[in-house]
Structure 1
């Protein structure tokens, strides 16, 4: 499997789209988590409470929550696109037969892809933390505020939580790519769910229907948002709200990850790759 993993990592590294998606994720995260709140705070009248809250939300002690706050929705959508490109691209280019003709079994190649995607997702999450750390340090220095960094344990827990959220969405991208044998439709359906359907359920259907409200406790997005909120993400971020406990959220997201990856492997093994 190591040979397949190395090949998949090489493809991800050499694919310009991988770096473009990473850049987009960092720019969006910094813009809406740091730059907009900081600019809004500086633009507010002196003594207004929102000004103090805006600056406080961008300081180093908020690094964990700020770094993972986008993963329930927009940063999760970017990771989903990455996973779809990594798996669904093989159908568009017609390269599944070429890869499998080299000797590895379907599940070996699939395992290599999943491992490579997991590594890429970890790089994405670490990049969000690194970019956030640099930005918050500059803001603290500019404001003369103390740089109280989270503990190593808190950082490790935040990175782990961010990786789990991102991998869950990557798993959804994988199963959509395998199930629909392509790129465009899986990306479209994934983005519709992430950016529209789950927000409509939360904002419109849940307040009106009790069963939808209860269903949210078992959907991927609300559980990701609950975990992000418990780790300090702002409730103003899309999809971030405490609906369930940490243990429940972790268990549900882990279950979805296993389901998505397992179903993708089953479909790839049992169906024709053409």
Structure 2
């Protein structure tokens, strides 16, 4: 398995799409978390809540600011990464080539899972570093004191972000295995994350009690609840404390285990041909 992990990690690093997705993640995080709010503040167009804008951008809000995009937008990018890592073997018709080298399907799949987990950790850490630099620069520009979250809060935030990011990546992986493709899993995954779950939360849940109750067990709302309890701005799409942080962490972890297990089972039992 270690050889499969090393091979998958090397492929992930060498794949240009991985770097493109990381770049998009950082640009989205920087622009919507820091640049646009600060530009509105500096230009005097911050709106009725402008007095709250600056404190939200300072380093002590690093954890919440870094996690806010994971339930929807940054999570969607992780889903795409998961599809590419697993579905790329179907698109390139390379499963047989990989398996002829000696490793079993389980070993190759485990290597892909570990590579996705490592990639998710790198993404989360990079977002945190970008947020720390941005918050420190804004504090210096506005002559504000620089106060950082405690080490415990940072580790908790990074762990929660890693959990959510890996869950979305494994959803992409299981869709890729189930559909044996790249384009369709990406399309269906994005429709669910960017449209369906927002419609459920904004339209169906206020009207139907059973939808509101079902939301308490869906991956998106639990991811949003987890990051909300850690300080993510509730104005961010997908961020809302529907359930407590403990339940949210358990549900997200449960989905991660289920997605991983289902993907491995499907890969083991089904024809590898696309």
1:9 and 2:9 matched: yes
What is the deviation of 1:217?
0.3
Please, what is the CA RMSD of the aligned residues?
1.1
Stretches of 4+ aligned residues off by more than 4 angstroms: none
Separation in structure 2 between the aligned mates of residue 32 and residue 165 of structure 1, nearest angstrom: 20
Residue in 2 that maps onto 1:172: 171
What is the deviation of 1:51?
2.3
1:103-118 maps to which residues of 2 (within 5 A)? 103-118=102-117
Residue in 2 that maps onto 1:212: 211
Separation in structure 2 between the aligned mates of residue 190 and residue 39 of structure 1, nearest angstrom: 33
For structure 1, list consecutive stretches of 5 or more residues without a partner in the other structure: none
Residue in 2 that maps onto 1:85: 84
1:43-62 maps to which residues of 2 (within 5 A)? 43-44=43-44, 50-62=49-61
Separation in structure 2 between the aligned mates of residue 54 and residue 39 of structure 1, nearest angstrom: 10
What is the deviation of 1:73?
0.2
Residue in 2 that maps onto 1:38: 38
Q: TM-score, normalised by structure 2?
A: 0.98
1:123 and 2:94 matched: no
Separation in structure 2 between the aligned mates of residue 109 and residue 7 of structure 1, nearest angstrom: 9
Q: TM-score, normalised by structure 1?
A: 0.98
Separation in structure 1 between the aligned mates of residue 16 and residue 146 of structure 2, nearest angstrom: 35
What is the deviation of 1:229?
0.8
Structure 1 window deviating more from structure 2 (36-45 vs 15-24): it is 36-45
What is the deviation of 1:49?
5.8
Separation in structure 2 between the aligned mates of residue 267 and residue 93 of structure 1, nearest angstrom: 19
User: Residue by residue, what CA displacement relative to the aligned partner does 1:4-45 show, whole Å, maximum 9, x if unpaired?
Assistant: 000000000000100010010010011111111111122226
Separation in structure 2 between the aligned mates of residue 199 and residue 51 of structure 1, nearest angstrom: 27
Whether contact under 8 Å (1:44, 1:50) holds in the other structure is no
User: Residue by residue, what CA displacement relative to the aligned partner does 1:132-179 show, whole Å, maximum 9, x if unpaired?
Assistant: 000110000000001110011100000000001111111100100000
Residue in 2 that maps onto 1:197: 196
Separation in structure 1 between the aligned mates of residue 45 and residue 64 of structure 2, nearest angstrom: 26
Residue in 2 that maps onto 1:259: 258
Residue in 1 that maps onto 2:74: 75
